[in-house]
Amino acid sequence: MGQKTNPIGARLGIIRGWDSNWYASPKEYGK
């Protein structure tokens, strides 16, 4: 994934779809 490279840019486009599901888990974000 590219969230580590450019979280903001990705959230504005790609992550917008699964962002609510991915960012909803702080534990997963810690990975």
Condensed to tens digits (0 to 9), the pLDDT of residues 1-31 reads 555 666 666 666 655 556 556 555 666 555 5
Task: Give me the pLDDT at residue 27, please.
Answer: 63
CA distances from 6 to 15, 21 (A): 11, 18
d(C-alpha 8, C-alpha 13), whole Å: 9
Q: Domain segments of the chain: what residues? A: 1-31
d(C-alpha 18, C-alpha 20), whole Å: 6
- Which residues, including other chains, have CB under 8 Å from residue 14's CB and lie 6 or more apart? 2
Task: Give me the pLDDT at residue 12, please.
Answer: 64
How much of the chain is helix, strand and coil, in % rounded to 5?
60, 0, 40
